[in-house]
Chain A
Amino acid sequence: DAMVIQNPRYQVTQFGKPVTLSCSQTLNHNVMYWYQQKSSQAPKLLFHYYDKDFNNEADTPDNFQSRRPNTSFCFLDIRSPGLGDAAMYLCATSGRGQEETQYFGPGTRLLVL
């Protein structure tokens, strides 16, 4: 089945220690998104790619970076995680259109010690 895969599902890191989360898709979608979701809140968009064009949300901290080496893969790098970065990180994909459905991965839960 076509899907969005995130690895790892759970990630524990230390305060200030860089961490990378990965996302892959078999849907061949143009658009890939990274969301941060904290407990009992809506997902918050960090950035997205349309093909290789990177779009950063204005309030996304510089601590968060992303790479998309090809259509299938996208990475979220957190350069110096703080305690406030502990959250669920969701990757999603879609076609480019206002009516397009977003397909979400299962998420990576990040814990910062």
Chain B
Amino acid sequence: AQSVTQLGSHVSVSEGALVLLRCNYSSSVPPYLFWYVQYPNQGLQLLLKYTSAATLVKGINGFEAEFKKSETSFHLTKPSAHMSDAAEYFCAVSESGGSYIPTFGRGTSLIVHP
């Protein structure tokens, strides 16, 4: 069965600092991995996804994530945080050959300080 663990319910960074949001997955088959962002009082929006092509995936708003099979990780990074990046971030996984319904992590709230 697939599962996702997001380490840290809150991450706080200063504006201009590196953003690192951690996601580890569990899957018995090759996974598809997603990062979604949710701004206050809005729905979720796809940032990027891994679908077994390049292991380094670039997304919107300067975010990227690297799929590391050996570490079962798909951490989200951004070199320089902006105040507008403050939001809730969700990692999700689905399995090739399995259900098309993704399993979401519990989310990480990114706080950006001036």
Contacts and interface: CB of A to CB of B under 8 A. Distances in A.
Interface stretch (A12-20, A36-44, A63-71, A74-82): A36-44
Given A4-B43, A31-B100, A90-B44, A98 B94 contact: yes
Contact of A43 (B44, B45, B98): B44
Nearest to A30: B100
Given A4-B43, A92-B43, A104-B44, A45 B101 contact: yes
Contacts of A96: 100
B110 to A, nearest CB: 13
A99 to B, nearest CB: 4
A98 B45 contact: no
Given A96-B100, A101-B49, A90 B107 contact: no
B51 interface: yes
Interface residues of B, number: 28
Interface in A94-113: 94, 96-107, 109
A104 B45 contact: yes
Interface residues of A, number: 27
Interface in A8-58: 31, 33, 40-43, 45, 48
Contact of A90 (B43, B46, B100): B43
B99 interface: yes
Contacts of A40: 9, 88, 107, 109
Nearest to A33: B101
Nearest to B94: A98
4 A-B pairs with the lowest CB-CB distances in the bound complex, closest first: A104-B43, A98-B94, A42-B104, A99-B51
A45 B44 CA distance: 14
